[in-house]
Each structure stands twice: as structure tokens, then as C-alpha cells.
């Protein structure tokens, strides 16, 4: 019986052979960038449980096995991974639609470029080559790119856009707060907290964040791709328009797969609605959003349905079994598949 490629391998760091190599990075205030880079390296056999030496002294760093985020050099051959030097412009591969990346690679981005696949394989050794590449790409899109952008100073919002609220719950902000405060004193020693100990806490925090996203990508997102592709390729069996798809299972992550697969299979016209059952067995009809937008739909459910429920909605729509239509028009419900499909069909006719 073949192993489940989406099942995570249990790694006990204490049971792994310890590396004799030393990882170098800078001393002083630390960020998520180098804390994550160190964690990534330590997941590989070569640097498993490797010692970390934090310094800005070139003579101290020179003999070390590998150095990240300090030194002013990016050279994979000599295992030097800094991104602060003049003229540096290393970026991850273009997005699937050919759009260049908004950010340069930080030090952890460089580490991920060269060692990311090895890290993923350490936790999911039975992935096929195609699955590994998909996981590698999705992990950059879902996790690494934000670390790169924050560390290299890329604004999240276009210039001139008013920020309505601040968010300091992200990984980079949380790592920043692990640094000893300017006036912090360790009650047991009466001295400033030990910076290197705090760095290890931050590095472990980054690892937890990486693995939480990786498990979502490998154990949920990638297995869902085959379901989405089958639904896309059989869309004409659901409705001759080719703009409605039906998923075999509800709750699966479908949106990004759909965007990518539409391009691969040159789908035209694009999908407007997806049908699936929720946990209670109700059939849902959900509008597909415009790619890259959170709330703009390719086509919404009719305005006159929005905010109406049950028998009132059934009368307005002229469709039996209607349960609800959200006030924003992005999702509705029906007691049967046929009813949900008819809701989508009517919406298509009104576009």
C-alpha cells in the first residue's frame, strides 16, 4: 500500500544527527527575515540543529560555514546570502500570469530559493515532483513573499490609499516584539534579557508559522486541486453555458486553483458561479470573485434577491427551495442541487 503523500512526516529534532556546522547572521535587533532563514536551514540534514553565531564582525563571520542577512554578498557557491548590497535585485519567479514580483528576496527568501524544496521534502517526503513544485510555489505566494516584502520595505497598499486600520498581529510584528525592550530587565538576573535566547524564541516562532501554512498547503490545498480540475473539465455537464461548476465536496479550497486552471485549460468564458453543499447539506451557489480582488465578483446574484430569505426569495426568484441570498449578492442557498443551479442560471441570464 503506497504512502499518503499528503501526510506529514513526524520529525523529532532531538533524534536527528546534529550538524557540526555553524550558521552566521547579524547581531543586534533581529527580524523575522533572519530568524526564519535560520529555522529553514536547520530543517535540512546539512544544518540540522546547527549552532548559530550572531555578529557583524567580518573576521568572525568569514570562517563560518554559511552566513545570512549580513556581509553584503549573495553567492550561493560560497554560501553567502545577504540582500543589502547596492545593485541587488534578486526576485522569485514571476507569478503564474507573468506578473513580476513586487519585492526583492530578503535573506530568508534567498534561503528559501535554494533550500525550500528540501525543507518541504523533510516534512512531506512522498510528494511527487509536480506536487513538490506546486507546494514550493504556493508557500512562496502564501507565506514567504510577505516576509520578503516587509523586510525590504514594500508598501502593502498603493500610494495615496488611506489605511483604515493597523494590523500588528502578523508574524513580522510578533517577532519584532520578542526583541528585548529598551527598558526591559530580567527579574532573575537584574540585567537586560539575553538577546541570543530571544532570537531562538523568534526563530521557533517563525518555524511554527511556516509549518502552519505548509500543512494547509500540502494537506488541504493541493489535494483539492484534482477535485477542482475535474469540476472544471466537466462544467458543460452541469450547464451548457460552461460558466457554472459543481464540486463533488463542499468546504474545499477552490478559488486559487480555479484561477490557475482556467488559464491552463484556456477557459472562455470564465466561471461565474460554483455549486457545492455546506456542512448542513444545503446547496450553495457562490459567485467567483475577480482574480486579485477580495470582494468584487465576476457576476453577483441579482440585486432584487439580496437580503431576502426562504419563501419570499422563492417567490421573487421564481425558483423552488430557495433558502437565502446574502445582502452582498456573493452567495445564496437552496435545498436542492437543481434549485441552486437554477439560481445560477437565472443570474447568468440577467447579466
Instruction: Say whether pLDDT at 322 is over 90.
Output: yes
Q: List the Cα angle 58/203/25 in 5-degree steps.
A: 5
> DSSP per residue over 164-213, as a string?
------SHHHHHHHHSPPTT---TTTSSPPPHHHHHHHHHHHHHHHHHHH
Please tell me whether residue 316 adopts helix, strand or coil conformation: helix
pLDDT exceeds cutoff 90 at 350:
no
Query: Chain-wide mean pLDDT for the chain?
Result: 94
- State the pLDDT confidence band at 1, using cuts at 50, 70 and 90: very low
pLDDT of 47 above 50: yes
The rounded Cα 45 to chain-centroid distance in angstroms is 25
Distance from C-alpha of 7 to C-alpha of 114, rounded to nearest angstrom: 24
Question: 142-201, pLDDT tens digit by residue?
Answer: 999 999 999 999 998 888 888 888 889 999 999 999 999 999 999 999 999 999 999 999
**Given the C-alpha cell 570562517, which residue does it identify?**
63
Q: Which three cell numbers stand for residue 276?
A: 457545492
User: How far apart are the C-alpha atoms of 91 and 253, rounded to whole Å?
Assistant: 27
88: closest CA among 103, 78, 99, 77? Answer: 103
Question: Grid coordinates representing 249?
Answer: 465536496
Residue 164 neighbours by CB distance under 10 Å? 6
Q: How far apart are CA 327 and CA 200, in angstroms?
A: 48
Amino acid at each position: 500500500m503506497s504512502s499518503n503523500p499528503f501526510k506529514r512526516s513526524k520529525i523529532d529534532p532531538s533524534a536527528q544527527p546534529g550538524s557540526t556546522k555553524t550558521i552566521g547572521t547579524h547581531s543586534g535587533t533581529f527580524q523575522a527575515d533572519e530568524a526564519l532563514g535560520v529555522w529553514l536551514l536547520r530543517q535540512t540534514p546539512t544544518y540540522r540543529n546547527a549552532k548559530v553565531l550572531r555578529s557583524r564582525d567580518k573576521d568572525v563571520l568569514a570562517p563560518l560555514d554559511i552566513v545570512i542577512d549580513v556581509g553584503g554578498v549573495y553567492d550561493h557557491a560560497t554560501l553567502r546570502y545577504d540582500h543589502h548590497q547596492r545593485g541587488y535585485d534578486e526576485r522569485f519567479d514571476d507569478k503564474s500570469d507573468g506578473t513580476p514580483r513586487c519585492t526583492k528576496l530578503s535573506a530568508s527568501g534567498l534561503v528559501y530559493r535554494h533550500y525550500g524544496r528540501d525543507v518541504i521534502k523533510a516534512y512531506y517526503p512522498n510528494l511527487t515532483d509536480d506536487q513538490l513544485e506546486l507546494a514550493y510555489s504556493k508557500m512562496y505566494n502564501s507565506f514567504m513573499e510577505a516576509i520578503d516584502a516587509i523586510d525590504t520595505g514594500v508598501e502593502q497598499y498603493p500610494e495615496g490609499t488611506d489605511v483604515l486600520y493597523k494590523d500588528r498581529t502578523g508574524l513580522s510584528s510578533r517577532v519584532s516584539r520578542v526583541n528585548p525592550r529598551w527598558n526591559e530587565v530580567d527579574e532573575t538576573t537584574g540585567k537586560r534579557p539575553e538577546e541570543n535566547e530571544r532570537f531562538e524564541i523568534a526563530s521557533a516562532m517563525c518555524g511554527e508559522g511556516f509549518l502552519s501554512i505548509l500543512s494547509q498547503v500540502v494537506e488541504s490545498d493541493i489535494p483539492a486541486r484534482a477535485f477542482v480540475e475535474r469540476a472544471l473539465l466537466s462544467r458543460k455537464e452541469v450547464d451548457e453555458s460552461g460558466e457554472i461548476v459543481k464540486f463533488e465536496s463542499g468546504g474545499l479550497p477552490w478559488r486559487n486553483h480555479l484561477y490557475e486552471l482556467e488559464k491552463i485549460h484556456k477557459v472562455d468564458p470564465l466561471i461565474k458561479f460554483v455549486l457545492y453543499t455546506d456542512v448542513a447539506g444545503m446547496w450553495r451557489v457562490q459567485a467567483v470573485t475577480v482574480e486579485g480582488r477580495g470582494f468584487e465578483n465576476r457576476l453577483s446574484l441579482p440585486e432584487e434577491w439580496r437580503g431576502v430569505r426562504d419563501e419570499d426569495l422563492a417567490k421573487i426568484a421564481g425558483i423552488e427551495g430557495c433558502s437565502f441570498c446574502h445582502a452582498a449578492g456573493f452567495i445564496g442557498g437552496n435545498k436542492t442541487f437543481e434549485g441552486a443551479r437554477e439560481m445560477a442560471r437565472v443570474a447568468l441570464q440577467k447579466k
